[in-house]
Structure 1
Amino acid sequence: MKALIVYYSMYGHIHALAQGILEGVRQVPGAEVDLRRVPETLSDDILAKMGATEAQKKLQEVQVCTVDELVEADAIIFGTPTRYGNMCGQMRQFLDATVGLWAEDKLVGKVGSVFTSSATQHGGQETTILTFIPFLMHMGMITVGLPYSFKGQTRMDEITGGSPYGISTIVGPKGERMPSENELEGARFQGRHVAEIASKLFR
């Protein structure tokens, strides 16, 4: 079973969750997984003004995804930061390039899942995933979230991301907060859960 994690990260928060997802997938016997990022659409000047230059240098070590790679995977786990309660423009542009895959039913029957981040507790984590799911459905994918068997999403002793729709992290108004251990454990759980389901379907 082959899984693919496809994400966009500006400051490294989604990248950190992607690493957790990666670890979770690798816990499933026989599962292979690759990490890919979607192409950047902002200029270096704009990224510099947004204070993202240093983070982007590290993130560029991850190979850029092509739409053809989606076809080769049995499970695809997408990660995107929240932009006004929706996915970021970079992810939207990447998905808009998959019309050829849709026309030929190339993603039908594959497992799909989503994770995200937002600046605040109520900054659109759930709506970002919920508005991403129609893409998965239009592609004929089998949508998998983060079940309540991950008990970390019911914790009350700390501020934490995560919902039945997928793991998330709260980064703070200035991006100062990286994913907590509970959120990373949720990412590992989601990666493992997706890989287990995809492995059963693959068999």
Structure 2
Amino acid sequence: MAQILVLYYSRHGATAELARRIAHGVEEVAGMEALVRTVPPVSTLCEQRADTIPESGPPYATTDDLRRCAGLALGSPTRFGNMAAPLKYFLDGTADLWASGTLIGKPAALFTSTASLHGGQESTLLSMMLPLLHHGMLITGLPYSEAALNATAAGGTPYGASHWAGADGGRPFTEEEVRLARALGRRLAETAQRLGVEP
């Protein structure tokens, strides 16, 4: 089974739920498996380290997970129109993969959640593309052939999957948001298969 790494940071759970939906889409493709991983929060104290294994949820990602994956789905909540610091911190530690060209030619997709409908979904997705383009990854978005993209009144963009979580993070997923998240996972997995990406 080829693995698609679904890597995210989530503070209140909305981005984590979006990651699960994308993982379901990945696993709808025969021969593909979703490997769900997260990153620890960034400490405000210098040199403080998180436990190696989180108390709950998926394990923390390592650069070996990136090295072995056939494709990457990268997700973050929006922080002032940008990805959250913990995810950026993790990506900043991937210079060895960049130097060796490990991720060149692998497909990638993006996802985010926001507190407000116009809270920076698209700019966050675009900000997450930048380090992946430097790594030589191939960005897959959502084409308008996905009918839910034309029907959504909440999350969902051509740049990637998104969810309008609401100010308290408890706004339920819409039918369109779920469809688009699964479609993104499927598209990413199918693209990896077509490319014949070898870890």
* Common topology (TM > 0.5): yes
Q: Tell me whether 1:144 sits opposite 2:124 in the alignment.
A: no
Q: Tell me whether 1:33 sits opposite 2:34 in the alignment.
A: yes
1:199 equivalent among 171, 189, 193: 193
| Cα contact 2:156–2:176 (8 A) shared by 1 | no
Provide structure 1 residue ranges, at least 5 long, that are not aligned to the other structure. 44-55
Alignment of 1:184-195 (within 5 A): 184-195=178-189
1:106 equivalent among 102, 107, 110: 102
Matching residue's letter, 1:153: L
Larger relative helix fraction: 1
State the alpha-carbon separation in 1 of the partners of residues 60 and 170 from structure 2: 26
State the alpha-carbon separation in 2 of the partners of residues 198 and 176 from structure 1: 33
Q: Per-residue displacement from partner, 1:86-116 (whole Å, max 9, x unpaired)? A: 0000101000010111111111111111100
Normalised by the length of structure 2, the TM-score is: 0.89
Deviation at 1:71, TM superposition (A): 0.6
Q: Tell me whether 1:24 sits opposite 2:25 in the alignment.
A: yes
Alignment of 1:1-203 (within 5 A): 1-42=2-43, 60-155=56-151, 159-202=153-196
Q: What is the identity percentage for the equivalent residue pairs of Structure 1 and Structure 2?
A: 40
State the alpha-carbon separation in 2 of the partners of residues 36 and 119 from structure 1: 23
| Cα contact 2:70–2:106 (8 A) shared by 1 | yes
State the alpha-carbon separation in 2 of the partners of residues 153 and 120 from structure 1: 18
State the alpha-carbon separation in 2 of the partners of residues 160 and 179 from structure 1: 9
The Cα RMSD (Å) is 1.5
Normalised by the length of structure 1, the TM-score is: 0.88
State the alpha-carbon separation in 2 of the partners of residues 10 and 147 from structure 1: 29
| Cα contact 1:13–1:179 (8 A) shared by 2 | no
Matching residue's letter, 1:34: L
State the alpha-carbon separation in 2 of the partners of residues 61 and 82 from structure 1: 20
Deviation at 1:67, TM superposition (A): 1.2
State the alpha-carbon separation in 1 of the partners of residues 57 and 24 from structure 2: 18
